[in-house]
Structure 1
Amino acid sequence: MTTVRNIAQGVRSFTSNVFLVEGERTVLVDAGNDFDAVERIEGAVDDLDALVLTHTHPDHIGNARSVIERFDVDVWGYDADASLVDYELADGDTLAIGDAEYEALYTPGHKNDHLCFYSRDAGTLFAGDLIFANGGFGRTDLEEGDRSKLIESIEYVYETVDDDLAGMYVGHGPAVESHPKNHVELALQAAKTGF
């Protein structure tokens, strides 16, 4: 059975959430920044099969090199031209995370290389910095940020996930394990109204 744990829980530095997904294929979703991710991974599992990136902002990739060196893993992300990415994922591509197949959803707006990962069978969405709990959404005031693209991306996610979505793991803040599709809808409304 797949287990999802945020190994960045309790870290007091500028980092994203970092999800260690244990299962048939043990995968790290994002690497975080400015804490010893390797030590935390080693404290939880014997080995790691892959590192998957939602996007390449520094708070999501700062620990990537140490994770790659320690576990000799390949990195999956949107842009194979990015220095860390070994394997490119386009919209609609699938990959195994834990015990399930996930679809890569291309979701720019926060950053041009942003991906979300959705498994209908597992009822799980890794939302990166696109959507947060309680209707939060990714900032668009950084380089490559674009509010209209972000709104389109949230709409795309809302139309793609079904009502059986059971868990949404986000780049910052708490995971959403109760009615996550409602939080996606709230984020869409908030992004459209500018709040």
Structure 2
Amino acid sequence: MITNLAQGVQAFTSNVFLIDGDRPVVVDTGANFDVVDAVRSHVDDLDAVVLTHTHRDHVGNLEGVTDAFGVDTWGYDTAIDGVDHAIEDEETVRLGDHEYVALHTPGHKNDHLCFYAEEAGVLFAGDLVFQNGSFGRTDLAEGDRDTLIESVDRVLERIDPTLEAMHTGHGPSVTEDPYEHVELAAQMARQM
């Protein structure tokens, strides 16, 4: 089961996804709200924190979560404070009850990862792409439009057109034709 713990929060934060199951994890910790209580209202324990990337709105609550649950953090770049273990490009990681392949997808930020579970039909897109063809900002440090386009294309080649759900770093999750939203993002990123 995947729950967005930041849904309805009126603060500057990313989405925070709790994936329950065999290996309960949080994907991104958000910022500026009590995510520890939100986690505890659903599960007693966590196995890990997994990061799509390390922008402040995605990791502001990181220390609080790792301290409260005594867990390590997994992300792309262990040179960044708070990231304990590296997830390599194309590495398979277990989140909840499913195996996800990690895809290194820079362009919004150099350490950006997406996670795709073919069997479950689920994509965690972080800030790479959003609903209705929106895509991650490239005007921040480490942002690069051409690199982002390459990353969106890579995800598009990897995911199945029958993708059932795309969970994004901001805004609502996409459960109706998410593949088309990724296709649209690939087109929109080229036009702007």
Which TM-score band (shorter chain)? over 0.9
Matches within 5 A, 1:7-156: 7-156=5-154
Q: Which amino acid aligns with 2:149?
A: I
Deviation at 1:90, TM superposition (A): 1.3
* TM-score, scaled relative to structure 2: 0.99
Q: Which runs of 4+ in 1 moved over 3 A?
A: none
State the alpha-carbon separation in 1 of the partners of residues 69 and 187 from structure 2: 41
* TM-score, scaled relative to structure 1: 0.98
Deviation at 1:164, TM superposition (A): 2.0
Deviation at 1:143, TM superposition (A): 0.4
Q: Which amino acid aligns with 2:49?
A: L
Q: Which amino acid aligns with 1:117?
A: F
Q: Which whole-Å deviations, capped at 9, do the CAs of 1:84-131 have from their partners, x for residues lacking one?
A: 111101110011001000000000000000000001011000000000
Q: Which whole-Å deviations, capped at 9, do the CAs of 1:133-167 have from their partners, x for residues lacking one?
A: 01010000000000000000000000000112100
For these two proteins, the number of residue pairs brought into alignment is 192
Gaps of 5+ in 2: none
Q: Which amino acid aligns with 2:139?
A: D
Q: Which amino acid aligns with 1:100?
A: H
Gaps of 5+ in 1: none
Identity among equivalent positions (%) equals 57
State the alpha-carbon separation in 1 of the partners of residues 53 and 27 from structure 2: 10
Task: Let me know the Cα RMSD of the aligned residues.
Answer: 0.5
